[in-house]
Amino acid sequence: MSQRIYPITMPKWGIEMQEGTITAWNASVGQSIAKGDALLDVETEKIVNSVEAPVSGMLRRIIADVGGTEAVGALIAVVAGTEVPDAEIDAFIAAFKPADTSFEPDSGGAAAAAPAPAPAQVAPSPPANLSVPGGEGEQRVSPIARRLAEKLGIDVSRIKGTGTHGRVSKEDVEAYAATLQGRAEGSAPDVPAGTPAPAPTREKMTSMRATIARRLFESKQSIPHYRLAIDVELTALLAHRARLNAAGGAKVSINDLLVRAAALALVKHPAVNSQLQGDEIVRFPQADVCVAVASDNGLVTPIVRAAETKNAAQIAAEVADLAERARSGKLARDEITGGTFTISNLGMFGVDRFDAIINPPQVAILAVGAGADRVIARNGQAVVARVATLTLSCDHRVVDGAAGAQFLATLREFIERPDEL
């Protein structure tokens, strides 16, 4: 190292990132690390990124624990040689002031912020076995037990500790939780009357969900949405899908065919296949279709690039791979940024129809409802057919009503006459 002590700070990926959540430390304090080693994992927006060690040395301090959310530039760890005394590292941490610096994903480094000249006053940490401050008589709770109780929504003050001086341990919390579970399932009928019900659970938003919430809030407030809905008959599409799947290869879903149909319609209607960037409308020659995928942390929208150039089987294989990696948080940044259009399908959940919120800078999003048997008129006769409702949300600043309607008409043509799919 070119300096005795090297700070590891929360990196910045993209201009919108303001904070990140640490999901894993891949090294422990006192461990030697080499430049380029995967040091920790940080969750930001919709993916988890691996942060590489910017230098070689020893990990002397971990300042931000797993699960902690830190602002960009905040000090999260310290790397130094074994010859550096602890007192010098303590002084470095106390004096550290975040600078407006970051590293880019391809550089393999972390932000290095220079310490301020004057040390800040740092309050001493409380003893590890005391989680509830106060005078005598205050409950003694281990940090692990308190975190578990918060996660389970349990009021820790109601738990009788079995440790020294009544200290509440992780095992005490687990036993109390098991009692509550048994009571809920009817297996503990002898619980004394008047025992309070479990408290509701509370959890801080992850970085991903917070970003989703912010972006959708801004979209709903700033974009003049309007919606167009059509009913499409799926009979021919279902038959086409059956023929494709009978031929072997990747199993094709109705959603895969909708991605293909939408892509073909988008290249015919570039007003819908657009982004609004500042005061410029950017129209794209290819359809990069985002497919909404539900994950434990929120909605993720990986992209099928140039979907109009791929057949249904290719789209099916790509969507399956993207969805699997989306749910496990293993998507790369370029796999979720830069899409030109989004499809959100809740039909598999039995939702008949719904409105979707536009994902800026895109200017339209398609909401797909469930296919269901309905009575329709065909050649003057009432017949039963499988029908689904498609709802297109448009940004009126870019997509006029006629343009949106024309796109839907073309999309319906591809769906009801799927020979080109």
Active site (catalytic) residues: 396
Long-range Cβ contacts of 248-251 (<8 Å, 24+ apart): 249/313, 250/313, 250/314, 250/316, 250/317, 250/320, 251/316
Maximum Cα interatomic distance, the chain, rounded to a whole number of Å: 90
Of 157, 189, 187, 186, the closest CA to residue 172 belongs to: 157
CA separation for the pair 75, 71 (Å, rounded): 9
**Strand 372-378 versus strand 381-395 pairing type:** antiparallel
Q: Can you give the C-alpha Rg of the chain in angstroms?
A: 28
Cα–Cα distances in Å, from 208 out to 15, 16, 178, 277, 403?
A: 15, 12, 31, 23, 33
> What is the distance of C-alpha 130 from the center of its chain?
34
How many C-beta atoms surround the C-beta of residue 163 within 10 A?
15
> What is the distance of C-alpha 64 from the center of its chain?
21
Cα–Cα distances in Å, from 350 out to 255, 291, 301, 342, 347?
A: 14, 18, 21, 20, 5
The one-character DSSP state at 362 is B
